[in-house]
Structure 1
């Protein structure tokens, strides 16, 4: 007895005609007849009997077909479930800072997917939504809403592994008509007398900038606290104050003066964060390994 015989039995029981069953199954009529005859011999009973020009199930056939249909349904359901699980294994769930989407993350994913041969199934990426700042992204990771997070190191959580992937320059941004706007470079000590747009404590940059300004001997007056880099840039371009942000591509699209910081010398690190002991799908493991093998920070001090 095999699966093909059960499938033939199921179709034949429904249409009650060998010719119609053969058309549905795309086989010859003798093929079905031979298969059913062998099944009857194995079971030691007749499954069908003639009824005019058609055939119908015998009582024994009805009993066997009922059990066979249930078995086929269970097998089909299990097969579909297996396919769904296999599809999940091919998905990489990612949460990331928005600034990485300008260049680094899309290029990294492109290089990863093109490393597969044409005969291999390429992994699919699913991007988990978040508020866009590091603490929210890490909460997504801790709640297992994603497998991999790209963000700042907000804390030294014992369940999170951090791997540095991008080192980014910090710059001062000012409105075009600001007294500092024409400087070629700036010492942050000279910015302390001006009102600034700063990062709220929920942002990974907040603690970094506190360390940065501590080297300058003071803290700037914060007129507004926001969570994201883009928000700082927008507020500065509207003339509310000045700010220190990562050097991002989208800064050039705003009416801003972008000034390199001469002192203190500082770079912002962005990390790939993963949960210790968390099951990673084969696709996620492959991507994590690819990032680690291809990341060289000395070549990654860049605009993102």
Structure 2
């Protein structure tokens, strides 16, 4: 079925006059007549009938008009949408760890948008645990994620963007609160708050204790940084946690750990050879790759 013939049909149905319709379509009247006849022959339905000098839709023509008008509108909308996408417009779905909410990732998203003011670029932001972020990336829920690196996965491209120091936090009246720095062995004799095993920080922190062959007395576990901070604030124990900006605003003491070897690395991750990514996603990936984030 000829798309132009369908568009000619819509215009004639709207104007109900061959001469007027052919002028607006910038074609000759015989060409319009032949197109309508060809369309009627193809679908085996009479679409118009004469009424004086005009033409009007038949009952079948009215039904056909309603359906084809909607279909052509959808086609035009689809064409406009993919043209915008191919020109660098579109929505980027970003997932990131909750601990990165207070970092300048969102600021960099704004800078990327500001550097492309002639384009319609939007972001959807989501936060989750590393395993959920990776599942969402693979399922297409996220275009790009900011996360820690887990087991090697050849389908995912990881680009290191920043590091985050691990520090000890203690209640402000704790025995260690007067210290500016400690060793890992100094921590093991106190009640300790650990991350749950599903949080990648758990292994990162425990591997440091494994190195010295001494482990802390874990009394409580928590899902994420806010919960750990809250438990420390309630004087339920001490904890090792990423050095995030919010720590400076709380009534807890932050202490350097002198012999910690594994600090936290963060990566931007996206699927390799992902044909579903729109051009603006790759523009964003390149932008972030060219700028080092500071936490």
TM-score, normalising length: structure 1: 0.78
How much has 1:217 moved relative to structure 2? 2.8
CA RMSD of aligned residues (A): 3.1
- Any conservation in 1 of the 2:13–2:57 contact (CA below 8 Å)? no
How much has 1:136 moved relative to structure 2? 2.0
Query: What pairs up with 1:157-176 in 2 under 5 angstroms?
Result: 157-176=153-172
- Equivalent in the alignment of 2:105: 105
Query: What pairs up with 1:110-129 in 2 under 5 angstroms?
Result: 110-116=110-116, 118=117, 120-128=118-126
1:269 maps to 2:272: no
- Equivalent in the alignment of 1:288: 285
Cα distance in 1 between the residues matched to 2:279 and 2:266: 24
- Any conservation in 2 of the 1:197–1:222 contact (CA below 8 Å)? yes
1:41 maps to 2:47: no
Q: Residues 5 and 172 from structure 1, CA distance in 2 versus in 1: closer, same or farther, beyond 3 angstroms?
A: same
- Any conservation in 2 of the 1:9–1:65 contact (CA below 8 Å)? no
Cα distance in 2 between the residues matched to 1:11 and 1:98: 55
Q: Residues 214 and 37 from structure 1, CA distance in 2 versus in 1: closer, same or farther, beyond 3 angstroms?
A: closer
1:76 maps to 2:65: no
How much has 1:236 moved relative to structure 2? 0.6
1:214 maps to 2:213: no
1:96 maps to 2:96: yes
- Any conservation in 2 of the 1:48–1:57 contact (CA below 8 Å)? yes
Q: Residues 247 and 35 from structure 1, CA distance in 2 versus in 1: closer, same or farther, beyond 3 angstroms?
A: closer
- Any conservation in 1 of the 2:168–2:240 contact (CA below 8 Å)? yes
Range with greater deviation from structure 2 (273-282 or 64-73): 64-73
Query: What pairs up with 1:226-237 in 2 under 5 angstroms?
Result: 226-237=222-233
TM-score, normalising length: structure 2: 0.80
Cα distance in 2 between the residues matched to 1:105 and 1:196: 31
How much has 1:69 moved relative to structure 2? 6.2
Secondary structure of 1:156 counterpart: coil
Aligned residues: 274
- Equivalent in the alignment of 2:181: 185
Q: Which runs of 5+ in 2 are unaligned?
A: 38-47
- Any conservation in 1 of the 2:138–2:271 contact (CA below 8 Å)? yes
Q: Residues 169 and 64 from structure 1, CA distance in 2 versus in 1: closer, same or farther, beyond 3 angstroms?
A: same
